[in-house]
Structures are given as structure tokens and as C-alpha cells.
């Protein structure tokens, strides 16, 4: 089969959490364009209804299901609804997550509940969804789980405790998934860099990508092809791995702070002669 045809996902079914906007919507639409039918979940009904319309415009089926990933009962009901509609689940994208109340609190100001909400939203939710979907993938002897971590899962942040801890935990959770259920099932991660999701305030906060090596911020639709690639048969030997899509941020300095060391060139300093 020609290599580009292996990127086609016709006849497969994908669950996208956090599908109502931003990266989740962009990945859902890319999967739909590659041929999958979708289950679009999020807490906000109106947003997933909008995503569903966009999926259907691309000629695929979409089942919007309101779901709070921090509630395992809600997750289990969502997966049951997906199976009732389609009879199979081939792809699970654990994209739901984000900053939670008190995300920038100093350590001593983090209450027990603040901590739990941050960890549940960004780590436990992915575990609940994976736990509910895995038995069906095992039965099918195939499946793809794609977990969305962050540059903050690989590097730390000052006064950033819940988010960095949860996103780092998600990485090793994914590796253990890959060793336990591979090679039939592949579990990998994407780590998006700075994506403002069309929000001018976020763009401004990150100075338009001035400190990102590539000089710009990420666009939501750029995550789509990466999601398709990881959901496809082209990545059958890839398991437990992370693909960072960040315009070069993690290759060197830390993008948003402007700390990107560039040493003087040899002729200026007399080095390297």
C-alpha cells in the first residue's frame, strides 16, 4: 500500500476528549478528514455540538457526549454511549485538561481540593478514559491512545505545581500503558508548545512567539496532522513516545521567558580559532 494511503483512517472510530474547542477540535476535524467517525466529548454541550456540525460537514459521523473526565461514572457512561453508537473504539485522544483554579498558587496556598482538581483534570481523567476504553481495544487486539501532555510535563515552572506534576505523570502513565498493552495497542503522547488558540490575550502574554526559536506561536490546526500520524498504521512500532510540537522551544532555552542563550560568535570572542 502506498505510504500516504496508510494515513487514511476510514472506518475507524475515535473518542476525543476536550473536543469543544482549541486543540481538541482541531484534532477531531483532522481525524474526520482522515476518515474517522468521532465521539466528541467535553463539559460544555454547545461547544461539542458545534464540533459535531464541523465533523459532519466533512462527511463523517459525530456523537457529541457531555462528559466530565474527572468523574469516572460520567466517563464510563460516555464510553458506553460510544460503543452503543458505533460498536467499536479504535482511537482515544486524551486531550481534556488545562489550568485549574489556583494553578499559579504558591505551594503553601494550595488547598487539598485545589491540588486534587488540578491532578484529576490533567492526569486522573486520562486514566479514567483509558481504563474504560482498554478492554474494548484488547478485545479488538488493536487500538491507539494519544495523550496530550505539555512542555510543562518535560520542564518545570515556578509556582506551577499541579499542572507540571500531572502532565509529567501522564508521560510515565503512557509509557506503562505502552509496555502493558503493546504491541497490539500503541499509546503515545503529543506535547504542544505555546498555542494561543486564537486568543489575543494569550498571544500577547507569549509576545506573539518572539522568544520561541521559530519566532511564532503554534496554530491549532498544526496539531491535526500529528494526531493523524500517531493514529495511523505508520506508527505501529512507536509506543510510549512523545512528539513535541513547539517550534524548537524545548530544544534549547525556555521559550516564554526569553531565556534562550546565544553565545557570542567565535570571531567576536576569539574562541574556536
Partner 1 sequence: MTDEFSLAGKNALVIGASNSLGRAAAVALAEAGANVGVTTSTRLQREEVAANSCANEIWALNRKGFAQAIDAADEADVRAAIERAVLEFGKLDVLVNAQDLPFAKPLTEITPAEWRRVLDVNLTGVYLACRAAGERMLSQEYGRVINIASVLGERGMANGAAYCAAQAGVLNMTRALALEWARRGVTVNAIGAGWTAGMGIIGGDEGRQALERYLPYKRLAKPEEIAGAVVYLASDAAAYLTGQVIWIEGGALSHV
Query: Which residues belong to the active site?
Result: 163
Q: Measure the N-to-C terminal CA separation of the chain; round to a whole number of Å.
A: 53
136, 175, 197, 254: which one contacts partner 1 (CB under 8 A)? 175
Do 169 and 127 meet the contact criterion of CB atoms below 8 Å apart? no
Cβ-based nearer residue to partner 1, 51 or 117: 51
Is-cis flag, bond preceding 183, omega within 30? yes
Residue 260 binds to partner 1 (criterion: CB under 8 A): yes
Q: Which of residues 209-228 bind partner 1 (CB under 8 A)?
A: 213-215, 218-219, 222, 224-226, 228
User: Could you give the CA distance from residue 178 to residue 188 in angstroms, rounded to a whole number?
Assistant: 8
Q: Which residues contact 185 (CB under 8 A, 6 or more apart)?
A: 134, 137, 138, 142, 143, 144, 145, 177
* Residue 211 near residue 257, CB atoms below 8 Å: yes
- Which listed residue (6, 21, 207, 254) binds partner 1 by CB under 8 A? 6
Longest dimension (CA), the chain: 70
**Comparison of 156 and 251: residue with beta carbon closer to partner 1:** 251
Contact with partner 1 (CB under 8 A) among 14, 23, 27, 34:
34
| Number of CB atoms found within 10 A of residue 30's CB | 23
> Is residue 102 involved in binding partner 1 (CB under 8 A)?
no
Cα 75 to chain centroid, rounded = 17
Helix H segments across 58-161? Answer: 72-86, 112-119, 125-140, 151-154
Closest separation between CB of residue 144 and partner 1, Å?
14
Kindly tell me which residue out of 64, 79, 232, 256 binds partner 1, with binding defined by CB under 8 A.
Answer: 232
Contact pattern from residue 192 through residue 211 relative to partner 1, giving x for each residue in contact according to CB under 8 A and a dash for the rest: -x------------------
Contact between 37 and partner 1 (CB under 8 A)? no
Shortest distance, position 156 Cβ to partner 1, whole Å: 19
* Interface positions with partner 1 (CB under 8 A): 2-8, 30, 33-34, 175, 178-179, 182-183, 193, 213-215, 218-219, 222, 224-226, 228-229, 232, 234-241, 243-248, 250-252, 260
Amino acid at each position: 500500500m502506498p505510504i500516504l494511503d496508510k494515513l487514511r483512517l476510514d472506518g475507524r472510530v475515535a473518542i476525543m476528549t476536550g473536543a469543544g474547542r482549541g486543540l481538541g477540535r482541531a484534532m477531531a476535524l483532522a481525524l474526520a478528514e482522515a476518515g474517522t467517525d468521532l465521539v466528541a466529548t467535553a463539559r460544555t454541550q454547545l461547544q461539542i455540538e458545534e464540533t459535531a456540525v464541523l465533523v459532519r460537514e466533512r462527511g463523517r459521523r459525530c456523537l457529541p457526549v457531555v462528559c466530565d473526565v474527572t468523574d469516572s461514572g460520567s466517563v464510563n457512561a460516555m464510553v458506553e454511549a460510544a460503543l452503543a453508537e458505533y460498536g467499536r473504539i479504535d482511537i482515544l485522544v486524551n486531550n481534556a485538561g488545562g489550568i485549574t483554579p489556583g494553578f499559579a498558587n504558591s505551594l503553601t496556598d494550595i488547598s487539598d481540593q485545589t491540588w486534587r482538581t488540578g491532578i484529576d483534570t490533567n492526569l486522573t481523567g486520562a486514566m479514567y478514559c483509558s481504563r474504560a476504553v482498554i478492554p474494548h481495544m484488547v478485545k479488538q487486539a488493536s487500538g491507539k491512545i494519544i495523550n496530550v501532555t505539555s512542555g510543562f510535563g518535560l520542564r518545570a515552572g515556578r509556582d506551577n505545581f499541579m499542572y507540571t506534576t500531572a502532565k509529567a505523570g501522564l508521560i510515565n502513565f503512557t509509557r506503562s500503558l505502552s509496555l502493558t498493552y503493546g504491541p497490539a495497542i500503541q499509546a503515545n503522547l503529543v506535547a504542544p508548545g505555546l498555542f494561543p488558540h486564537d486568543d489575543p490575550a494569550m498571544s500577547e502574554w507569549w509576545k506573539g512567539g518572539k522568544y520561541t526559536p521559530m519566532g511564532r506561536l503554534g496554530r491549532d490546526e498544526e496539531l491535526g496532522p500529528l494526531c493523524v500520524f500517531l493514529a495511523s498504521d505508520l506508527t505501529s512500532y512507536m509506543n510510549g513516545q512523545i512528539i513535541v510540537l513547539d517550534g524548537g522551544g524545548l530544544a534549547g532555552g525556555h521559550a516564554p521567558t526569553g531565556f534562550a542563550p546565544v553565545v557570542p560568535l567565535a570571531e567576536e570572542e576569539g574562541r574556536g580559532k
